[in-house]
Amino acid sequence: MTKKEIEQLLTAVRSGALEVGDALEQIQEMPYKDLEYAKVDYHRELRNGFPEVIYSPGKSLEQIQGIVADMLKRTKGNILASRADEQVYAAIRELTGDAVYYKDARSVVVKRQEYPVSEDYIAVVTAGTSDIPVAEEAAVTAMVMGNAVRRLYDVGVAGIHRLLDNVEVINRARVIIVVAGMEGALASVVGGLTDKPVIAVPTSIGYGANFGGISALLGMLTSCASGIGVVNIDNGFGAACMASKINQL
Amino acid sequence: MTKKEIEQLLTAVRSGALEVGDALEQIQEMPYKDLEYAKVDYHRELRNGFPEVIYSPGKSLEQIQGIVADMLKRTKGNILASRADEQVYAAIRELTGDAVYYKDARSVVVKRQEYPVSEDYIAVVTAGTSDIPVAEEAAVTAMVMGNAVRRLYDVGVAGIHRLLDNVEVINRARVIIVVAGMEGALASVVGGLTDKPVIAVPTSIGYGANFGGISALLGMLTSCASGIGVVNIDNGFGAACMASKINQL
Amino acid sequence: MTKKEIEQLLTAVRSGALEVGDALEQIQEMPYKDLEYAKVDYHRELRNGFPEVIYSPGKSLEQIQGIVADMLKRTKGNILASRADEQVYAAIRELTGDAVYYKDARSVVVKRQEYPVSEDYIAVVTAGTSDIPVAEEAAVTAMVMGNAVRRLYDVGVAGIHRLLDNVEVINRARVIIVVAGMEGALASVVGGLTDKPVIAVPTSIGYGANFGGISALLGMLTSCASGIGVVNIDNGFGAACMASKINQL
Amino acid sequence: MTKKEIEQLLTAVRSGALEVGDALEQIQEMPYKDLEYAKVDYHRELRNGFPEVIYSPGKSLEQIQGIVADMLKRTKGNILASRADEQVYAAIRELTGDAVYYKDARSVVVKRQEYPVSEDYIAVVTAGTSDIPVAEEAAVTAMVMGNAVRRLYDVGVAGIHRLLDNVEVINRARVIIVVAGMEGALASVVGGLTDKPVIAVPTSIGYGANFGGISALLGMLTSCASGIGVVNIDNGFGAACMASKINQL
Amino acid sequence: MTKKEIEQLLTAVRSGALEVGDALEQIQEMPYKDLEYAKVDYHRELRNGFPEVIYSPGKSLEQIQGIVADMLKRTKGNILASRADEQVYAAIRELTGDAVYYKDARSVVVKRQEYPVSEDYIAVVTAGTSDIPVAEEAAVTAMVMGNAVRRLYDVGVAGIHRLLDNVEVINRARVIIVVAGMEGALASVVGGLTDKPVIAVPTSIGYGANFGGISALLGMLTSCASGIGVVNIDNGFGAACMASKINQL
Amino acid sequence: MTKKEIEQLLTAVRSGALEVGDALEQIQEMPYKDLEYAKVDYHRELRNGFPEVIYSPGKSLEQIQGIVADMLKRTKGNILASRADEQVYAAIRELTGDAVYYKDARSVVVKRQEYPVSEDYIAVVTAGTSDIPVAEEAAVTAMVMGNAVRRLYDVGVAGIHRLLDNVEVINRARVIIVVAGMEGALASVVGGLTDKPVIAVPTSIGYGANFGGISALLGMLTSCASGIGVVNIDNGFGAACMASKINQL
Amino acid sequence: MTKKEIEQLLTAVRSGALEVGDALEQIQEMPYKDLEYAKVDYHRELRNGFPEVIYSPGKSLEQIQGIVADMLKRTKGNILASRADEQVYAAIRELTGDAVYYKDARSVVVKRQEYPVSEDYIAVVTAGTSDIPVAEEAAVTAMVMGNAVRRLYDVGVAGIHRLLDNVEVINRARVIIVVAGMEGALASVVGGLTDKPVIAVPTSIGYGANFGGISALLGMLTSCASGIGVVNIDNGFGAACMASKINQL
Amino acid sequence: MTKKEIEQLLTAVRSGALEVGDALEQIQEMPYKDLEYAKVDYHRELRNGFPEVIYSPGKSLEQIQGIVADMLKRTKGNILASRADEQVYAAIRELTGDAVYYKDARSVVVKRQEYPVSEDYIAVVTAGTSDIPVAEEAAVTAMVMGNAVRRLYDVGVAGIHRLLDNVEVINRARVIIVVAGMEGALASVVGGLTDKPVIAVPTSIGYGANFGGISALLGMLTSCASGIGVVNIDNGFGAACMASKINQL
């Protein structure tokens, strides 16, 4: 509510055009106007097919069903339940036949709108096959959020010709998500090959001095290639959120 | 070189339109064609005013002068020497009167083109006044790379009204760089207020359990707000690189 | 025993009013008088309804039953068994029908006195729903120790309007316990909004760079808001102890 | 501004008792009303002699003089500059003869009000003599914030009789700040002797496996005594802030 | 493809001896010529009996069977599946009776060629009996890669005469792999006794301050004996790869 | 073999009193004479009732039975199997009725000699009841190695009068083993009360910032009391070994 | 004061043989009788030539002179100032010509009694020459505390024959202090060669993965040799304290 | 001394051909025969031009001069003083005009034999220019130890074409030393391109999450390329030792 809007409201109260009670109601909600703006923005996202996301761990099947049932009524976009197992899928399946289970991605999508096909795609790249679950979480999340996605898997730097043979997938993307465990070197090599923003996801793939993903995390943070943003270990979801924000600018 | 271009070249050789020696020269450079593409892209950047960047530490003043002198001849864009002290400034000043020293940012710019003014700006936000040097490195780098920048400093979460009073600066930006030391909580709060990509820069500001920036780094990586990309501790330059890549999509 | 009391005792021995054997007994216990004071204080607490607390892990059901049975005879206040599972509850239930099981709080209370209702309450605030078990341990402990408690859950900084909408719960409390995992930023924001003492409990909620609660722990220790005391990771019990000591000043 | 106050304001506008312009001004400041409340509280503190605190590192002498000069005009309470060296003292001394330098505490106080004398004191206790600077920072800060303070220094657990001989200083305090380096065991022993809230300050005193205060920090966080709140390493100021909040409940 | 080979190709195209289409095909594969070289090298290795290695974890039994079936057709050398359990063995056994299971080494070998017997052997040495599984992984890998191996187990430094009694096994080797957990001191002692390259494998054997192999890892990296190369914790396979490369120089 | 003994041997060879073959045999074993001395010492220990110790983890029941059977034949002293579960006990029980299982200590002893009773005892002290298993491992090991032991359990510093009431147990010991988890402060307090050597055993008892025993380990290493030797986390066996070596000087 | 002594005192009061005032004085000091015992023990040490130790860092030269002057009057034994530089030496030298400066050991001794010569010596052993300062601190401290000392320096395991050639120095000692940096392997080898108690001192000698002594510290804590007690990094003084307590049993 | 040699010696004693005294002397040195073998090997190295190496830090200029003077007399090969500054150079220069100072390598060589030229070279490769000092330490050490060396500097993966353009230098080497800071990804890429042994040297080049070389160290230890041996951070000397041992097999 701008200064001018408040002035108009007060003038309306004085003139009797607006009841004190109605004005009270409007002003009462004003304190967090800038924050309410975030809610407005959220509404916009719902209208645009950008769904609420349900993080499954720590929620009961009943809670998940409750949230999904409510969303089925209130929204028209795709619905995503992340880090979901087969039981979550079964629970959602009871509510709607539109539920699809992406096993690798550990994600359930209630698919009510087609995923977009576009040349403005997000590339999701992995170093090894073990990194694919995290990459799929990113890919499915990005698609559900309304982005085209191209996958390029198992192109780690130990056999760098695999990457170079497919460098066009990287160069034609608008944003690139690099998913890698162990030493995470793929992020540096990709970062050096492209002028597009790179989001790096360290994975906990590895053992010993990998320390649950620390080696990849530190490697990506200290990359010799500039302009790489890093998210938490195994956080495919977060990488897709950032990639989607960038792709939809 | 596409498949078609090679075919044309070979056909020209067969027809005698192209000498074997000339064809040899062209093909000889082809092996790293995809990598050469990165060089081509680099040329494009130079044409677009995107300068080479000189990382000053570990380079002698003579080396820096040599590089700058060469760039003055070869390029027309702004030139940036980062992490530069007064001596580096003096050395570059000897070569050109266009050199400007941004003390807070520890950056020397040979300013041969005006910084852009645009509504499509990068917001650079800090938690405290001690974070300003890192933020200025980001801001100056972003400007030199051809981006409009708006600063919003000292809006840390311990007095959150300072941030909320200025939330429009954040909401109207295309990309937001959040620079914060100590616990780095500002990144989470900003990330929750906006749907634009946020790049978080942990700083080494703090003492004790800050451990040279680790507390802010871990806080940003595990932020409860989604879609935040993190760069290395105190790496204002890297944040600006990524922000610029995003802003120029 | 003060200097004067000893003098009187000795005078009584000399005069024959006190037998040597009786004086011996009194003096024999004197050495740890200042420490005995702690015991006296403990007695006072029992009278005031402040119960012994049984930390369940590592104790057999028989041991727990033994302790509870003894307390049922010796005391009149509420009895708390913390970190208790269903089996502990069943074992205590065999002894008394007053046993109540707080599942979220993993706590069994033998409720023999009503919890207090008062305007001088301890606020227990969480960032997310996953932090609730730790918060409930704090809340139940605080109540059993004789404090009024108000809960404010799921008001993390990624949606800061949820916190600001409820800021009165915080401002009217005498002490605030903030329970947060991930980056723990809620402690800083609450600390900046209030002039009451804040006790921060980092939780192990999170993954990857959370490192079992380290990110929240370091974030709370290096908070940009002053006057925050931090307890161990997931230590809702300890936070309640300190809050109770403060609230009962 | 409560709901009722807004209603009265609007009624006054309608009745013409309040001009639209005046009402506008009042409402305009309302958006951050709950945050403004923090400002109001801050005003109250100034009235109560609770001073602004100037954290000296990273500020120029001119900046410090500017802030102090402004405070001398605007406030009547004591003024504190923390982590201040002799130069900061000299700079403030130029402005006012009331400046006092507490060398051990690295603190400058512009003393315009006497420190309180009261039985409701904060006890500041150290393990060794090397912990005294951190303890003095806490003691001076607490006094400037309007609290009575009693010191008990060099009573570490390696000679536990020194502590036990002085246990009354601890038992009669309302809050106890324990400052200890090395293994920080003093916090546990004091915590076991008292039913008052204990704030533990780990110091960086030690070498080798002390790791700059980590051994004391971890020791205090995992103390076997309940109800201890821990602040950052060497953070005497933060401990005093929390102790003052508690003491002034 | 050397410069000269390209020249000959182009000359053949001009003369009509080579069709444009055929030349196109050859040149098309040239870009990664240096990388193709790695593939050629791989072919050479297959001819020399150096097998593909299948890292079993994260692969389904079907996938493993698919890979082995393909290799049985395409190659003649030994085939190794590492980190394999009994189920992997059974799956491969279905395909060929040549499969052998080395339980300690957690390795399945399809043995189609005899292991070499030679005086140019790799010595595999362990500190304790618990280190044997890692050592066996190294030994079996080395044999499958075509190296003679001699084992020297349980010669840790707490009973150094066991090592000295067998020093000839070490001195006559071409390369020595030292496998040790706990403090890993055996690497230093062996390194001081020999002028042959030593590859040190820290194991996760130990508890407490071993921290999953960190104590041995750091000990080996900071060894007072020069010329020791360290691989990841428990990485017997990697040690054998390096030893084999050295032994086959 | 001393210089003089060699001289006598050579003289005997020259004189014909000793055959070349016999002399050869003696000299052949001489190289590790100093190490053989360790073996001799081992024999002495066996005679003195100091048994071989079998570390059970990682050994099959058959292997354990084999070792015990051999020791039953070859030695007359007590036999200790440490870190042993019920199954190990049953396996040894099959061989001899003298087997005793100390469940808390996770130790099986084949008791063929009475434990010593002496005023020269080793005191084993714990902070809490959860530390008792580690303490019992130390106590049983010490007894089996021929030392008198006195236990003093659950005397942690949070209730320091429990320790002070029993200070004589500590002061009359020859060596003191202090077993403590959490912050490990008991080692410092005991170290300050006695002039006898103190061996500190950090335990992994605790959670959160205990980090599996690190808080106690660092606390004990940086103790403000001098003359404390620390062993690995949970290493009751090692503490007993050192205490026994000291007690038997 | 034993129970019997108190009884006698009380009887004397009753009989009039002791005045109430005199009895009062005696009893008044009793509360910390067990702690007073520590003081008595301290007196005994002074009588036995065991000096007070002055830890120099953090003390002014005036403070050190004050302490030494007082000790010169009150005691007859040797006086030790540890971690002392040339200036401390000069300051003490002003007070007495008996002051000796051990530069390597960074120790000043006021030598008023000869160091003991005895077959019951403490062996101080180092891995390298860089470890000598820490070893000398141990050696001088041990001598000043009344122990005979034998040094064995630069016998690290990279050239193990140097150690084996001198194994008698180790075997004839009553206690062995092993001082080693880098990987600290010498402690394990010595521990395996002797049945005497070994005190291991990790030093901060090394770089990189030594991490200021952590590699040696962890190596010594996880040693494969049993019965090794570890002190803090670089803590030669603490090792000597423990060795002296053991040697004087 | 082999069994046969001892037999001959004893036979000579019996026959009187050898005096008892002379035999005694020979046998007396035998105990560490296997270790003496290492000394013999050391002699061989001296003959082959492999010099003693003087690690300069912690040695006085006089000590260094003493060692060099002795070596000038006793040996004929090149002499190396590592980690040497200008002062060390000047001190050695006083003794001999053959001293050469390699400033980048921080190494002084007394060059009395030419460095070898050979096709069997060690390749020393760096990621950046800042890694050159560590690389030069490796290169100079390797040359002094008698190996041919080829350098390939500044070919980090952020511009991977620089590496690929020079892949022949890597493929034709017998051993490759990869020196890299930051994330150390170069080791993985080189390891994937070659079948020769790779020795990886992490450097402390970087800041923030580099943590003094930890990011590169962990990255190299967890490399996705097999057969890489890692040495300590910044340890160019150690890498050259291992490379030399391999190259001289």
> What is the value of ipTM here, to two decimals?
0.81
pLDDT, one tens digit per residue, over B192-216 is 888 899 999 999 988 899 999 999 9
Query: Sorting pLDDT into bands at 50, 70 and 90, what band is H103?
Result: very high
Measured distance CA(E176)–CA(D114) in Å, rounded: 76
Measured distance CA(F102)–CA(F118) in Å, rounded: 22
Residue A231 has pLDDT above 90, yes or no: yes
**CB under 8 Å to H221, separation ≥6 — which residues?**
A208, A209, A215, E217, E230, E231, E232, E233, H230
What would you measure as the largest C-alpha separation in chain G, in angstroms? 76
Residue A111 has pLDDT above 90, yes or no: yes
Q: Where are the beta strands (DSSP E) in D86-187?
A: 99-102, 107-110, 121-126, 148-152, 175-180
Q: What is the pLDDT, as a whole number, of residue F47?
A: 31
Query: Is D111 exposed, middle or buried, given 0-12, 13-18 or 19+ CB atoms closer than 10 A?
Result: middle
What residue in E sits closest to B20 (Cα-Cα)? E10
Chains C, A in contact, 3 or more Cβ pairs below 8 Å: yes
Q: Where are the beta strands (DSSP E) in chain G?
A: 53-55, 79-82, 99-102, 107-110, 121-126, 148-152, 175-180, 198-202, 228-230
Last residue of a domain, one of D110, D143, D169: D110
Q: Number of CB pairs < 8 Å for D and G?
A: 30
The reply to whether F126 falls in a domain is: yes
Q: Provide the shortest C-alpha distance from residue E193 to chain G (in Å).
A: 7
| Residue H184 touches partner A, C-beta closer than 8 Å | yes
Q: What is the pLDDT, as a whole number, of residue A4?
A: 62
Whether H84 and H191 map to the same domain: the answer is no
Last residue of a domain, one of E62, E78, E110: E110
Contact between E189 and G191 using a beta-carbon 8 Å cutoff: no
Measured distance CA(E123)–CA(E127) in Å, rounded: 13
* D165 neighbourhood in chain G, CB within 8 Å: 32
Q: What order of strands is seen across the sheet that includes strand B148-152?
A: A148-152, A121-126, A175-180, A198-202, A228-230, B228-230, B198-202, B175-180, B121-126, B148-152
Whether B47 and B101 map to the same domain: the answer is yes
First-to-last alpha carbon distance for chain H, in angstroms, is 25
Whether D207 and D144 map to the same domain: the answer is yes
Write the DSSP symbol of residue C65.
Answer: H
D233 → closest Cβ in B130, B164, B208: B208
Q: Which CATH number covers residue C146?
A: 3.40.50.1970
pLDDT, one tens digit per residue, over D171-202 is 899 999 999 999 999 999 999 888 899 999 99
| Residue F184 touches partner D, C-beta closer than 8 Å | yes
| Residue C58 touches partner A, C-beta closer than 8 Å | no
Q: Which residues 210-229 in chain E show a CB within 8 A of chain A?
A: 212-213, 217
Contact between B231 and A242 using a beta-carbon 8 Å cutoff: no
| Residue E32 touches partner A, C-beta closer than 8 Å | yes
Q: Which two tokens stand for residue F86?
A: 């019920």
Q: Provide the shortest C-alpha distance from residue D249 to chain C (in Å).
A: 7
| Residue H171 touches partner B, C-beta closer than 8 Å | no
Task: Please name the residue that has the structure tokens 């108000």.
Answer: C150
Sign of the alpha-carbon dihedral angle for E103, E105, E110, E116: negative
Q: What order of strands is seen across the sheet that includes strand A53-55?
A: A53-55, A79-82, A107-110, A99-102
* A38 neighbourhood in chain C, CB within 8 Å: 159, 161
Write the DSSP symbol of residue A148.
Answer: E
Q: Where are the beta strands (DSSP E) in chain C?
A: 53-55, 79-82, 99-102, 107-110, 121-126, 148-152, 175-180, 198-202, 228-230
Q: Per mean pLDDT, which range of A197-206, C57-66, D87-96, H123-132 is the poorest?
A: C57-66
**CB under 8 Å to B91, separation ≥6 — which residues?**
B61, B64, B65
Q: What is the pLDDT, as a whole number, of residue H4?
A: 61
Average pLDDT for residues D134-157, to the nearest whole number? 94
Whether D147 and D89 map to the same domain: the answer is no
Query: Sorting pLDDT into bands at 50, 70 and 90, what band is H27?
Result: low
Average pLDDT for residues D111-123, to the nearest whole number? 92
Using CA atoms in the order D1, D2, D3, D7, what is the torsion angle rounded to 10 degrees?
Answer: -60
Q: Provide the shortest C-alpha distance from residue F19 to chain H (in Å).
A: 9
B31 → closest Cβ in E11, E24, E30: E30
Residue C195 has pLDDT above 60, yes or no: yes
Whether G99 and G204 map to the same domain: the answer is no
Q: Answer yes or no: are the C-beta atoms of H152 and H123 closer than 8 Å.
A: yes
Q: Which two tokens stand for residue A117?
A: 């096909």
pLDDT, one tens digit per residue, over H161-194 is 778 878 889 989 999 999 999 999 999 999 988 8
Q: Answer yes or no: are the C-beta atoms of E206 and F235 closer than 8 Å.
A: no
Q: Answer yes or no: are the C-beta atoms of B137 and B107 closer than 8 Å.
A: yes
Last residue of a domain, one of H87, H110, H133: H110
Whether G198 and G227 map to the same domain: the answer is yes
Measured distance CA(E201)–CA(E132) in Å, rounded: 12
Whether F231 and F150 map to the same domain: the answer is yes
Q: Answer yes or no: are the C-beta atoms of A177 and A169 closer than 8 Å.
A: no
Q: What is the pLDDT, as a whole number, of residue F27?
A: 61
Whether A105 and A135 map to the same domain: the answer is no
The reply to whether G26 falls in a domain is: no
pLDDT, one tens digit per residue, over B157-174 is 887 877 887 888 998 999
Write the DSSP symbol of residue E173.
Answer: -
φ/ψ of E17, rounded to 5, equals -65, -25
* H232 neighbourhood in chain E, CB within 8 Å: 221-222
Subunit partners of chain B (3 or more CB pairs within 8 A): A, C, D, E, H
The reply to whether A16 falls in a domain is: no
Measured distance CA(G102)–CA(E135) in Å, rounded: 49
Q: What is the pLDDT, as a whole number, of residue C49?
A: 38
* A171 neighbourhood in chain H, CB within 8 Å: none
* D36 neighbourhood in chain A, CB within 8 Å: none
Sign of the alpha-carbon dihedral angle for H206, H208, H214, H217: negative
The reply to whether A228 falls in a domain is: yes
Please report, for residues A79, A170, A176, E222, the alpha-carbon distance to residue A121 in angstroms, rounded to integers and kept in the order given.
Answer: 21, 10, 9, 48
* E218 neighbourhood in chain G, CB within 8 Å: 183, 209-211, 214-215, 218-219
Residue C29 has pLDDT above 80, yes or no: no
The distance from CA G103 to its chain's CA centroid, rounded to whole angstroms, is 18
3-state helix, strand, coil in chain E (%, to 5): 50, 15, 35
What residue in A sits closest to D26 (Cα-Cα)? A6
| Structural domain total, chain D | 2
Q: Per mean pLDDT, which range of E26-40, F72-86, G169-183, H68-82 is the poorest?
A: E26-40
Q: Which two tokens stand for residue C102?
A: 């707080």
The reply to whether C21 falls in a domain is: no
Q: Could you tell me the residue range of the domain that residue D215 belongs to?
A: 121-247
Measured distance CA(E131)–CA(H55) in Å, rounded: 34
Give the residue among H51, H131, H133, H124 at the shortest CA–CA distance from H92. Answer: H51
Contact between C246 and D244 using a beta-carbon 8 Å cutoff: no
| Residue D36 touches partner C, C-beta closer than 8 Å | no
A35 → closest Cβ in C130, C161, C210: C161
Q: What is the pLDDT, as a whole number, of residue D128?
A: 86
Q: What is the pLDDT, as a whole number, of residue G204?
A: 94
Whether F84 and F134 map to the same domain: the answer is no
* G130 neighbourhood in chain H, CB within 8 Å: 58
Measured distance CA(E73)–CA(E68) in Å, rounded: 9
Q: What is the pLDDT, as a whole number, of residue G98?
A: 95
The reply to whether D4 falls in a domain is: no
pLDDT, one tens digit per residue, over B220-239 is 999 988 889 999 999 999 99
| Residue F208 touches partner E, C-beta closer than 8 Å | no
- Kindly give the interhelix angle for C214-221 and B214-221, rounded to the nearest 10 degrees: 130
| Residue D209 touches partner F, C-beta closer than 8 Å | yes
Q: In residues, how long is chain C? A: 249
User: In which residue ranges of chain G is pLDDT below 50?
Assistant: 1-2, 29-49
Query: Is A35 exposed, middle or buried, given 0-12, 13-18 or 19+ CB atoms closer than 10 A?
Result: buried
- Average pLDDT score over chain B: 84
The reply to whether F233 falls in a domain is: yes
Residue E4 has pLDDT above 70, yes or no: no
Q: In residues, how long is chain F? A: 249
Whether C95 and C130 map to the same domain: the answer is no
| Residue A164 touches partner E, C-beta closer than 8 Å | yes
Residue B21 has pLDDT above 90, yes or no: no
Whether C66 and C144 map to the same domain: the answer is no
What residue in C sits closest to D222 (Cα-Cα)? C232
Q: What are the start-end ranges of the H helices in C75-221?
A: 86-93, 132-144, 160-164, 167-171, 185-193, 214-221
Q: Provide the shortest C-alpha distance from residue E11 to chain B (in Å).
A: 7
Q: Provide the shortest C-alpha distance from residue F30 to chain C (in Å).
A: 54
pLDDT, one tens digit per residue, over C208-223 is 999 999 999 999 999 9
Whether A97 and A158 map to the same domain: the answer is no
The reply to whether D24 falls in a domain is: no
